[in-house]
Amino acid sequence: MVVMNRAPSASQNPLLAPWAGTFELPPFAAITPEHFRPAFDRALAEHRAEIDAIGASSAAPSFDNTIVALEKSGRELELVSNAFFMLAGADTSDEIEAIERDVSPLLARHNNALYLNRALYARIAALYRQSDALGLNAEQARVLERYHTRFVRAGAALEQPAQERLATINERLASLGTRFGQNVLADEKSFAMLLEESDLAGLPDFARAAARAAAGERGQPGKFAITLARSSVETFLQFSSRRDLREKIFQAWITRGENGGETDNRALIAEMVALRAERAKLLGFATFADYRLDDQMAKTPAAARGLLDEVWGRARAKAGAERAALQQLITQEGGNFALAPHDWRYYTERLRKARFDLDEAEIKPYFQLDRMIEAIFETARRLFGLTFSSVTVPLHHPDARAWDVTDAQGRHVALFIGDYFARSSKHSGAWMTALRDQEKLSGDIRPIVVNVCNFSKPVAGEPALLSFDDARTLFHEFGHALHGMLSNVTYPLLAGTAVPSDFVELPSQLYEHWLEVPEILRQYARHCRTDEPMPQALLDRLLATRTFNQGFATVEYTACALVDLDLHSLPDAGTLDVSEFEHKDLERIAMPAEIVMRHRLPHFQHLFSGGGYAAGYYSYMWSEVLDADAFAAFEEAGNAFDPAIARRLRDYIYGAGNLRDPGRAYEAFRGRLPTVDALLKKRGLADVMPV
Ligand SMILES: [Zn+2]
């Protein structure tokens, strides 16, 4: 924590003055880290007073004096938190990290004061019991039901001793989650493989340029750095013919959070899993997975596992065939070694070249970041009538950009911010977040939505190039962003992405499909030097590789989802040895030895950095059943931009927040529930015999 001589007064603290700038953005240009703590303190106290007043009211509970009052409370806290956690994720520092460690248990304690407040719960429960008699419209009834469920799931109905224990557990989990994420970032920051030009055998120009830029950012001009950012490592693994260096970077990458010492995450995981299991028991569930899935679309761990099992055997079979082809290539070239995990991407790239006459270095110049941004915007224009105009506003980092989003009538819809380049102050991964959510309860509040990615930054003057996978990530995160921007609800609780996590990946994964729509590729995949569109033959070859290496990708993902479910199905995790658990569980599911989990437990941020996907990593595949089936609706219509289907998509999915139960919402869009067929076809697994 930074020690200040004097705390800044309210008048000097830009976070505490009204945010009067354009779009009412957080006043980034004026904010320094020491402004956050006093802003949190004031916002927390204000929200606490609001909550207590609602609970202590002597008036009989009504929808207005309880639910609407709750919905209107805590707005300042929300805005301060949103601004702070965006910085903590995208541009952190020692000062921000220290504040994060301080405020995360405070926020957990604050949440306890809200959700374990008996007086408040008594009012909500009374309203819920008589909800049919309250004359509520459908959205109001949904808000009331959601509040009731949230309070019950948080433990509001439990006796005092259980509540006290829950409160302690929640605070501890918040601290552990913060520490977990910071440890991963510390391991990523402290490692870079510094190379000389002579070490770069096999690397194409774009990869050399990115490595030179990364070395420059780390104060090593003239050298080349491979960092632990996914774009950097994976590119190196794909192209470098130096097996020794591939092994070295791969080892560093897969052991993040598992290096002993201060930043080792294994003890934190054991404690978090044990605390989650205990919390689930206090709330009446056998395991954390049972607790977690009870309020998801899947409802039970068995349902989630059923889907994963259906895919797993086929994925292993396909990966087995892929492995055999890679080994054959090694042998043909006179290699006298067995395929290892750090070889997979390299030989896959070689095989892709041989089989489809296609290599990433040939494709990449056609995927310029700026052109692909135009592509995501054009897709949104054709589907939803949105227009994006670049605007200059003060943002959190010079690399971030903003666009004013308007509808077909020219009305302001949202502000969209894109922060695309990797840097050492940014957590790894890609995500969407909001600085402000849409709602209509306090006027027509328009959202401010942010996409954060980790694409390699080019050296000055060079265009930023994406891999096809990066381009998919860009579309994915923008799908989440649209879910936030098109939100059309009255109550903040239901806005945008506030849906179950096994449904929230539908808007994002569905959007990825438009990257592969030929007319979008033809228009926006243009060569960075000549501006020529991608030749039809190359485009055909690119699309022909769609199911290539999908065995690997499916195994790499599904193993994570299975291990996550198994870990969070432990009834008691008192003496958990995390490394041993992971090892044994992978053995149990017969994980192919040449493939490593996409996220090993010691750096699995989806599960432990905040816990949003704990016992929920299966969500991506659950949502994929939906997205594959949903896109098939456009294919069946023979038009990827069919206006009637796009209209329903907006009404029931992208614009509908959490207005409806997810199953009902999907049925309203598609006219029926989805089947798994489209997913198996998409991944090339439909005709594979499971092993
Ligand atoms: Zn996502």
How many whole angstroms from 121 Cα to the centroid of ligand 1?
Answer: 33
Find out whether 511 and 378 touch, Cβ atoms under 8 Å: no
Q: What is the pLDDT of residues 627-654, one digit of tens each?
A: 999 999 999 999 999 999 999 999 999 9
pLDDT at residue 315 in the model: 96
What gap in Å lies between CA 617 and CA 612, rounded to an integer? 9
pLDDT at residue 291 in the model: 98
- Is the pLDDT score of 88 beyond 90? yes
- Is the pLDDT score of 539 beyond 70? yes
How many whole angstroms from 481 Cα to the centroid of ligand 1?
Answer: 10
How many whole angstroms from 207 Cα to the centroid of ligand 1?
Answer: 26
pLDDT at residue 6 in the model: 43
Structure tokens at 295: 């309020």
Q: What is the pLDDT of residues 118-137, one digit of tens each?
A: 999 999 999 999 999 999 99
Instruction: List alpha helices for 333-453, DSSP H.
Output: 344-356, 360-363, 369-384
How many whole angstroms from 87 Cα to the centroid of ligand 1?
Answer: 19
Judging by DSSP bridges, how do beta strands 431-436 and 192-195 pair with one another? unpaired
Where residue 230 falls among pLDDT bands split at 50, 70, 90? Answer: confident
pLDDT at residue 4 in the model: 40
Average pLDDT value for the chain: 94
How many whole angstroms from 614 Cα to the centroid of ligand 1?
Answer: 14
Q: What is the pLDDT of residues 205-219, one digit of tens each?
A: 889 999 999 999 899
Structure tokens at 597: 């989990």
How many whole angstroms from 430 Cα to the centroid of ligand 1?
Answer: 8
What gap in Å lies between CA 329 and CA 324, rounded to an integer? 9
- Is the pLDDT score of 79 beyond 70? yes
Per the residue annotation, which of 100, 477, 505, 556 is the catalytic one? Answer: 477
Compare 638 and 545 and report the one with higher pLDDT. 638
Edge-to-edge strands, sheet with 401-406: 387-391, 401-406, 412-421, 448-455, 431-436
How many whole angstroms from 471 Cα to the centroid of ligand 1?
Answer: 14
How many whole angstroms from 586 Cα to the centroid of ligand 1?
Answer: 25
- Is the pLDDT score of 168 beyond 70? yes
- Is the pLDDT score of 8 beyond 70? no
Judging by DSSP bridges, how do beta strands 448-455 and 412-421 pair with one another? parallel
- Is the pLDDT score of 366 beyond 70? yes
pLDDT at residue 256 in the model: 97
pLDDT at residue 20 in the model: 87
- Is the pLDDT score of 188 beyond 60? yes
Count the Cβ atoms, other than its own, within 10 Å of residue 644: 10
User: CA separation (Å) from 126 to 63, 132, 147, 149, 261?
Assistant: 10, 12, 12, 13, 52
How many whole angstroms from 549 Cα to the centroid of ligand 1?
Answer: 21
> What's the burial of 287, exposed, middle or buried (CB within 10 Å: 0-12/13-18/19+)?
buried
Where residue 7 falls among pLDDT bands split at 50, 70, 90? Answer: very low
Angle, nearest 10°, between helix axes 36-56 and 118-129? 50
Percent of the chain with pLDDT over 70: 98
- 310 a catalytic residue: no
Q: What is the pLDDT of residues 522-534, one digit of tens each?
A: 999 999 999 999 9
Residues with CB under 5 A from ligand 1 (ion): 505, 508
pLDDT at residue 274 in the model: 97
How many whole angstroms from 536 Cα to the centroid of ligand 1?
Answer: 31
Where residue 9 falls among pLDDT bands split at 50, 70, 90? Answer: low
pLDDT at residue 10 in the model: 53
What gap in Å lies between CA 451 and CA 393, rounded to an integer? 16
Of 141, 88, 52, residue with least CA distance to 605: 88
Of 402, 308, 352, residue with least CA distance to 547: 352
Of 531, 532, 513, 533, residue with least CA distance to 522: 533
Find out whether 494 and 143 touch, Cβ atoms under 8 Å: yes
What gap in Å lies between CA 238 and CA 259, rounded to an integer? 25
Find out whether 383 and 520 touch, Cβ atoms under 8 Å: no
- Is the pLDDT score of 40 beyond 60? yes
How many whole angstroms from 492 Cα to the centroid of ligand 1?
Answer: 21
How many whole angstroms from 476 Cα to the centroid of ligand 1?
Answer: 6
Structure tokens at 685: 């697994």
- Minimum mean pLDDT range among 148-152, 217-221, 287-291: 217-221
pLDDT at residue 5 in the model: 42
User: CA separation (Å) from 143 to 61, 70, 128, 650?
Assistant: 15, 11, 10, 21
How many whole angstroms from 159 Cα to the centroid of ligand 1?
Answer: 37
* Averaged pLDDT for residues 19-48: 95
Q: What is the pLDDT of residues 452-488, one digit of tens each?
A: 999 988 888 889 999 898 999 999 999 999 999 999 9
pLDDT at residue 691 in the model: 83
How many whole angstroms from 432 Cα to the centroid of ligand 1?
Answer: 8
503-508-513 Cα angle (round to 5): 120
How many whole angstroms from 473 Cα to the centroid of ligand 1?
Answer: 9
How many whole angstroms from 413 Cα to the centroid of ligand 1?
Answer: 22
pLDDT at residue 11 in the model: 60
pLDDT at residue 1 in the model: 34
* Averaged pLDDT for residues 265-270: 96
How many whole angstroms from 505 Cα to the centroid of ligand 1?
Answer: 5
